[in-house]
Amino acid sequence: MNSDLERLIALQRLDSASHDAERRLAEEPDREKALEARLEAVGQHVAAAKEHLVENQHARRAIEKDVAVQQGRLSKFRETAMAVKTNVEYAAVQKEIAFAQGEIKTLEDKELELMLAADDLTAALKKAEAALAADVKAVNGERQQIAAEGTELQAALERLRGERTRVVTGLSPQVLALFEQVARKRNGVAVAEARDGVCTICHVRLRPQVFNTVRRNDAINQCDHCNRILFFVPVSTAPAADAGTDVNQSTP
Ligand SMILES: [Zn+2]
């Protein structure tokens, strides 16, 4: 194979790997933000569950006050009942007593309902708190993973840059300039495999004589359509086939 072409294939593999690493590094702040949002949402569930329980307690206290008021009235009516002199007065007081008793019964029923609801609300709060604790643990784990990945990606980038410098050193300046010119216009992908007479990235069919020349891998040939530098992978040439796969995964 033409040595410049061989270096270009290697260069493309390094650049594509660098782009992937850079893209993943650039995604880190968004991943962090998503984790933050996740914790905030679960935290809001806990706050809401607490709030519901507090509301329930306030409502119960208000009812207890109302019950005390009605019981105060009831005692007074009972005292009055002892002192009345006529049947009409007695009947009137009995009516008041029955009314206060009815009020107390209604309030106590309501309080019982609230107490039962409080059991459910307490269970819901415990569940929300457990979910929050589990999420805090999971998020911390993911944060550590993101940090570890970041360190790894930075190291990989350093390594790739070092390798790139070595590959570029052996490359003729005109060929490197061509590679960089095409890469700038083609989303960082300047090299494409030609297979079955077609450029595998832009999918345009090559002229037969162009494809025949490309098959020899002994010169720098470009796709008529996308201008990418073409190479050919003879069957059973594993390393070059790898480069072809990398190149194919990128967007045209
Ligand atoms: Zn093409």
Query: Over the stretch 152-170, which tens digit does the pLDDT of each residue have?
Result: 999 999 999 999 999 999 9
User: 14 CA to middle of ligand 1, Å?
Assistant: 20
Q: Whole-angstrom Cα distance, residue 17 to residue 176?
A: 18
**Owner of token pair 């040439």:** 237
- pLDDT tens per residue across span 12-71: 999 999 999 999 999 999 999 999 999 999 999 999 999 999 999 999 999 999 999 999
Identify the structural domains of the chain with CATH numbers, from first to last. 3-162 (1.10.287.1490), 173-249 (no CATH)
Report the pLDDT value the prediction gives residue 31, as an integer from 0 to 100.
96
**How many A from CA of 206 to the centre of ligand 1?**
8
Quick: pLDDT tens for 134-146.
999 999 999 999 9
Task: List Cβ neighbours of 50 (8 Å cut-off, separation of 6 or more).
Answer: 125
232 CA → ligand 1 middle, Å:
13
Residue 243 above 80 pLDDT?
A: no
CA of 240 to the centre of ligand 1 (A): 18
Rounded average pLDDT over 92-99: 95
% of the chain at pLDDT higher than 70: 93
Distance 3 CA to ligand 1 centre (A): 21
pLDDT at 237: 52
Residue with tokens 């025949």: 212
C-alpha–C-alpha distance, residues 28 and 240, integer Å: 32
SS3 label, residue 251? coil
Element (H, E) at 193: strand 191-195
Distances (CA, A) of 100 to 64, 89, 105, 113, 246: 14, 17, 9, 20, 85
Residue 241 pLDDT:
45
Task: Output the pTM of the full model.
Answer: 0.71
- 192: enclosing H helix or E strand: strand 191-195
Identify whether the C-beta of residue 214 lies closer than 8 Å to the C-beta of residue 232: yes
CA of 107 to the centre of ligand 1 (A): 82
